[in-house]
Structure 1
Amino acid sequence: MLDATTRSGGTATVLPRVTATELAVATPVVVPAVPLGRTARLGRALLSPWARFSMLVAVLTGAVTTVLLFEPQRLLADGWPPQLNGATAAVVFAVAYGLCTVAFVPRPLLNLAAGALFGSELGLTSALAGTVLGAGVAFGLGRILGQDALRPLLRHRWLKAADGQLSSHGFRSMLAARLFPGVPFWAANYCASVSRMGWLPFLLATALGSIPNTAAYAVAGARASTPTSPAFLIAMACIALPALIGAVLAWRKRHQLRGR
């Protein structure tokens, strides 16, 4: 405690006592500026758009390498592992299907494999689940790791038109892309992730639009041993017809974009 006494004209004056805590509060504390540490600078660098895009490239490269080393096409030659059967096998296949689509494995091959391994109905269910899973994973990777870096590059007229179509009419555009093959599955996923399309329209359009084409391939895979059967021939027709319609629509759309 501090106590101070002054004298003025013979009269003693006692000053109020001031505690050390009050002095500490009253005295302003100046904290020196701390320079940005290496950890903070490294964190900012890792979170930059191009650093995240580099991570996306690394992840996709690793996925492609893994698929090439694993050789999933051996499942058709060697058969499904005997310890996996029924619903468990279908779930495992759906997960593997989704991861393979992220690594750019063509969906037609996976759909044929689903039909050949599990039959038409279970093969369709497993392949469709893998389709939605793979699309969601690819969309998430592209949205989180690639969108900020790639959006500033959308300067070409065609790229701007495609981005505007996906951003403004996401569900309709993605539904058409799934119904009429022409754009590769992985390309549609990553293009949609760079646009401003929402998650729900993307996944819903993917699920609904992929049913006809996936079913046709699953039936073709299940009946591949009898290529002259009506079911196989109808399935092949259902595969060829949407492809033809998609090619015509893409040709017309291209000429419309050129005319703008």
Structure 2
Amino acid sequence: MLDATTRSGGTVTAVPTAPATELSLTAELSPAAELAVATRTGLAARCTRVLLSPWSRLSLLLVLLAASASSVLLFEPQRLLSDGWPPQLSGAAAAVVFGVAYGLCTVAFVPRPLLNLAAGALFGSQLGLATALAGTVLGAGIAFGLGRILGQDALRPLLRARWLKAADGQLSRHGFRTMMMARLFPGVPFWAANYCAAVSRMGWLPFLLATALGSIPNTAAYAVAGARASAPTSPAFLIAMGFIALPALAGAVVAWRKRHHLRGN
């Protein structure tokens, strides 16, 4: 590039000069500039490590769960049993919306029996059962994913107690069978089973499949009870209440007989 000229003996001679971009590329940074760049890079790396650390992710999980529980206290979804479903929604759209709300409510610690009764009361036995099961699997999947991504790395090193190690080993080695038992025989809270499975090494597919299959009897009983709540002396309602009580009693007996396994004896 001919950007400068010189005169020598009356002759004009062009002197080539390097472009500004080439000069900027070849010029070296001053020590102060290099220190500033290194400081910014190091600070960004440290901030990234802190934000992605196991305890930071666990803190985020706790904040999300606290926010979910607070939203339930504010909006009171249990009013569906007394006020009914909004008249603007009906049919399949109402079932889909209720299923999604069901899943989110289970993540926010709303008891499933209450939601199952509402599903039966709002949609009848069959559609209520299908909607409640879909919401059950959705809520379990959300809780399992949150626990696995945000809580597992921080909580696994804390599994030092004998009964915690026993529960973790049972879920890690025999996840499908253990989760089926937890869903079939009520006793372990739904949210607690979800997060315990997430902290263990149980896989996604066995967890979701065991949740779907194991939740059918109990969910069906509550859905039928909700659909027949207006006739509490009807055979369907009484049979449903029997199916609710018997698994709970059986679960208590099994837990009592197997308690020594959780104590590590």
TM-score, normalised on structure 2? 0.85
Q: Aligned AA for 1:146?
A: G
Q: CA deviation at 1:194?
A: 0.1
| Equivalent residue, structure 1, for 2:159 | 154
| Equivalent residue, structure 2, for 1:175 | 180
> SS of 1:73's equivalent?
helix
Q: In 1, distance between residues paired with 2:112 and 2:86?
A: 21
| Equivalent residue, structure 2, for 1:135 | 140
Q: Structure 1 pair 256/190, CA: closer, same or farther in 2 (3 Å)?
A: closer
Q: Aligned AA for 2:84?
A: G
Q: CA deviation at 1:74?
A: 1.3
Q: In 2, distance between residues paired with 1:259 and 1:88?
A: 49
Q: CA deviation at 1:108?
A: 0.3
Q: CA deviation at 1:118?
A: 0.5
| Equivalent residue, structure 2, for 1:251 | 256
Q: In 1, distance between residues paired with 2:112 and 2:261?
A: 29
Q: In 1, distance between residues paired with 2:111 and 2:81?
A: 15
CA contact (8 A) 2:171 2:202 kept: yes
Q: Aligned AA for 1:161?
A: A
Q: Aligned AA for 1:154?
A: L
| Equivalent residue, structure 2, for 1:115 | 120
Q: In 1, distance between residues paired with 2:109 and 2:202?
A: 21
| Equivalent residue, structure 1, for 2:4 | none
Q: Aligned AA for 1:95?
A: V
Q: CA deviation at 1:77?
A: 1.4
CA contact (8 A) 2:166 2:264 kept: no
Match of 2:247 among 234, 242, 248: 242
1:123-161 Cα distance to aligned partner (Å, 9 max, x none): 000000000000000000000000000000000000000
Aligned-pair identity in percent equals 81
Q: Structure 1 pair 94/169, CA: closer, same or farther in 2 (3 Å)?
A: same
Q: In 1, distance between residues paired with 2:262 and 2:54?
A: 30
Is 1:79 aligned with 2:56? no
| Equivalent residue, structure 1, for 2:200 | 195
Is 1:91 aligned with 2:109? no
1:204-224 Cα distance to aligned partner (Å, 9 max, x none): 000000000000000000000
Q: Structure 1 pair 191/258, CA: closer, same or farther in 2 (3 Å)?
A: closer
Q: CA deviation at 1:41?
A: 1.5
Q: In 2, distance between residues paired with 1:157 and 1:113?
A: 39
Q: Aligned AA for 1:245?
A: A
Q: CA deviation at 1:259?
A: 6.6
Q: Structure 1 pair 106/241, CA: closer, same or farther in 2 (3 Å)?
A: same
1:234-259 Cα distance to aligned partner (Å, 9 max, x none): 00000000001100111111134447
5+ residue gaps, structure 1: 1-28
Q: Structure 1 pair 44/239, CA: closer, same or farther in 2 (3 Å)?
A: same
Q: CA deviation at 1:89?
A: 0.3
Q: Structure 1 pair 110/39, CA: closer, same or farther in 2 (3 Å)?
A: same
> SS of 2:215's equivalent?
helix
The count of corresponding residues between Structure 1 and Structure 2 is 232
Q: In 1, distance between residues paired with 2:197 and 2:129?
A: 24
> SS of 2:258's equivalent?
helix
5+ residue gaps, structure 2: 1-27, 29-33
| Equivalent residue, structure 2, for 1:9 | none
Q: CA deviation at 1:38?
A: 2.3
Q: In 2, distance between residues paired with 1:86 and 1:166?
A: 39
| Equivalent residue, structure 2, for 1:125 | 130
| Equivalent residue, structure 2, for 1:102 | 107
Q: Aligned AA for 1:179?
A: L
Q: Aligned AA for 1:108?
A: P
